[in-house]
Amino acid sequence: MNLTTLKDDQHVFPPYQGAPLMKTSFANKHPQVVKALNRLAGKISESEMQEMNYEVNVQKKLADVVAHQYLVKKGLLKGDGK
């Protein structure tokens, strides 16, 4: 596919900034999840998110596989998932 990304100079689309949402009760019971998510804060660039969305939505890769590859590549997770 030979696609060109257009610049949104009119700011029609807001910047993509993913944010984890969870109930306080879940966060209190699972502080390790909160800690893990906090390690991601500010780490995923807009272009990286676009690329991962492309892999999942267009190339039909599994979201968990794409996420795992990203985390390993960024040194946030060991290659074996541990």
pLDDT digits over 1-21, tens only? 788 988 889 988 877 778 899
Host domain of residue 56:
44-77
pLDDT value, residue 76: 86
Retrieve residue 63's tokens: 């979201």
Domains in the chain, number: 1
Burial class (CB in 10 A: 0-12, 13-18, 19+), 39: exposed
- Measured at the CA of 69, the angle between CA 63 and CA 71, to 5 degrees, comes to 100
pLDDT value, residue 82: 47
- The reply to whether 21 falls in a domain is no
- The reply to whether 14 falls in a domain is no
pLDDT digits over 22-81, tens only? 999 999 999 999 998 998 988 898 889 989 999 999 999 999 999 999 999 998 888 765
